[in-house]
Amino acid sequence: MWWPLLVACALQPAPNELSLTTESGSFDVTVAFAPDPPAVGEVTMTMTVVDVAGAPVDATVAVDPWMPEHSHGVADPPVVTSTEPGVYTATWVCPMAGEWQLTIGVDDDPAVADVAFY
Ligand SMILES: [Cu+2]
């Protein structure tokens, strides 16, 4: 009787794919990490941004990593590029393992996620 549950779980998104909504409620952001789960070293975040109607959003997207435990960010701010409408990629180097607070700004409208890096 457990098989249907196992099959359903297998179809879920990867554990570290995040679904976020910006503070104003205007945008939904889905974030996938590579590597997954995210690890110390070079990290690539692929962010899909849609509006309330589900349409891809053309915006200025920024990523600001912050480590609250030690009150520091990263040496080189992530550079965000857009590969297709509504899809943004940021690559940066995570210097240390632990809990990071990732603020993703969509035209200055932030979505914040706490993410563990190993
Ligand atoms: Cu630190």
Residues, the chain, total? 118
For residue 71, give the CATH number of its domain: 2.60.40.10
Q: Rounded to the nearest whole angstrom, what is the distance from the C-alpha of residue 72 to the centroid of ligand 1?
A: 6
> pLDDT digits over 14-37, tens only?
556 899 999 999 999 999 999 998
Q: Rounded to the nearest whole angstrom, what is the distance from the C-alpha of residue 102 to the centroid of ligand 1?
A: 13
Residue 10 lies inside a defined structural domain of this protein: no
User: Which residue spans within the chain are E strands per DSSP?
Assistant: 18-21, 27-34, 41-51, 61-66, 79-84, 87-94, 98-106, 109-117
Q: Rounded to the nearest whole angstrom, what is the distance from the C-alpha of residue 67 to the centroid of ligand 1?
A: 6
Residue 1 lies inside a defined structural domain of this protein: no
* Domain around 49: 17-117
Number of domains in the chain: 1
Residue 8 lies inside a defined structural domain of this protein: no
3 state SS of 10: helix
Q: Rounded to the nearest whole angstrom, what is the distance from the C-alpha of residue 96 to the centroid of ligand 1?
A: 6
* Angle value at C-alpha 62, between 50 and 37, nearest 5 degrees: 80
Residue 9 lies inside a defined structural domain of this protein: no
Q: Rounded to the nearest whole angstrom, what is the distance from the C-alpha of residue 69 to the centroid of ligand 1?
A: 6
Q: What global pTM score does this model have? A: 0.84
Q: Rounded to the nearest whole angstrom, what is the distance from the C-alpha of residue 113 to the centroid of ligand 1?
A: 17
> pLDDT digits over 43-91, tens only?
999 999 999 999 999 999 999 999 999 999 999 999 999 989 999 999 9
3 state SS of 7: helix
Residue 28 lies inside a defined structural domain of this protein: yes
